Amino acid sequence: METMGAVADIGDLVFPGVETMVREESRQEEKVEREDRSTVGRPFVDDARMTCRDVNVYYGEKHAIRNVSIDVGRNEVLAMIGPSGCGKSTFLRCLNRMNDTVDSCRVFGDIQLDSLNIYDKSVDVVPLRAQVGMVFQKPNPFPKSIYDNVAYGPKIHGLASSRTDLDGMVESSLKKAGLWKEVSDRLDQPGTGLSGGQQQRLCIARAIAVRPEVILMDEPCSALDPIATATVEGLIAELQEQFTIVIVTHNMQQAARVSQRTAYFHLGDLIEVGSTDRVFTNPRHRLTEDYITGRFG
């Protein structure tokens, strides 16, 4: 029901005068579309790091994610695209149980990391989030020094045995995040005093400092200028050798540049998954095609 409302809203914006007609039309479309909303393409891979089966997410009564099944391959970059409000962030946040912090959110289905169901009662979210790190849309460094920002994760997980060990970890993380040259002489200064792009790279350094297996990135470049974006994209390509990366983006060129596989979400449904080249050059689903060619969203 809500999804229809969303479509009607867009209609309202475009044709404020013919409200009822648009409502009618969208309802028609909804009915026809409902049938062929099963995922097309190849959602599953052989060498999967994470597997998701029949995932459904509700915010209270609202059905935000419907029956999504998808694999995340080892050392691949999976891009998730789709119109605003289609549930990309919601799905991404299921992968490290960040949704636990939202009271109204309920997650159903089976999500496995290395063949272990992460929503199992016996699973502790603390080590899980160390294994599946996250970089957020808005850079959110701690209001502490650059050093403390990066060192925080290793410290709480007890990864460093000594002070020099910790120093080494901070240095290597900052190097991997491509920030070391810029900040090596001012590690004791506040992380919040860096530029937006530097802050985002600091957040990436903070995420990789705990040596996760998977890194989730929710629109990491949406607050950055093209140069900083290019830096982060280059970084993703490098990180891919060590980590599995799932990235949400609104920028289709970016998805095309950094990812091997692309998943297209539409109003809570996973519409199409495939290798990035194939999805962008030859989309199989009409909704994917509409979105990629700019006819929707």
Ligand X SMILES: Nc1ncnc2c1ncn2[C@@H]1O[C@H](COP(=O)(O)OP(=O)(O)OP(=O)(O)O)[C@@H](O)[C@H]1O
Q: Which residues are near ligand X by CB under 6 A?
A: 59, 62, 64, 82, 84-90, 102, 104
- For residue 201, state whether it binds other proteins (rule: CB under 8 A): no
CA dist 261 and 256 (Å) reads 9
Instruction: Report what 115 binds from other proteins, ligand X, Mg ion, none; CB cut-off 5-8 Å by kind.
Output: none
- Does residue 99 contact residue 90 with C-beta atoms inside 8 Å? yes
Q: Enter the tokens of residue 246.
A: 């799932």
Instruction: Output the CA–CA distances (angstroms, integers) from residue 122 to 107, 115, 118, 125, 213, in the order listed.
Output: 16, 14, 9, 10, 20
- Nearer CB in complex with other proteins: 22/151: 151
- Scanning residues 78 to 97, which ones bind other proteins (CB under 8 A)? 96
- For residue 198, state whether it binds other proteins (rule: CB under 8 A): no
Q: What is the closest distance, in whole angstroms, from the C-beta atom of residue 251 to other proteins in the complex?
A: 21
Q: Enter the tokens of residue 118.
A: 């992460």
Selected from 69, 75, 117, 140, the binder of other proteins by CB under 8 A is 140
- Nearer CB in complex with Mg ion: 75/251: 251
Selected from 3, 26, 89, 173, the binder of Mg ion by CB under 5 A is 89
- For residue 176, state whether it binds other proteins (rule: CB under 8 A): no
- Nearer CB in complex with ligand X: 101/161: 101
- For residue 262, state whether it binds other proteins (rule: CB under 8 A): no
- Nearer CB in complex with other proteins: 220/274: 220
- For residue 127, state whether it binds other proteins (rule: CB under 8 A): yes
- For residue 169, state whether it binds other proteins (rule: CB under 8 A): no
- Does residue 73 contact residue 45 with C-beta atoms inside 8 Å? yes
- For residue 173, state whether it binds Mg ion (rule: CB under 5 A): no
Residue 81 has, within 13 A of its CA and on its CB side, a CA count of 29
Considering only 72-80, 83-91, 144-152, 197-205, which stretch makes contact with Mg ion by CB under 5 A? Answer: 83-91
Selected from 86, 98, 204, 217, the binder of other proteins by CB under 8 A is 98
- Nearest in space to 216 (alpha carbons), one of 140, 288, 132, 127: 132
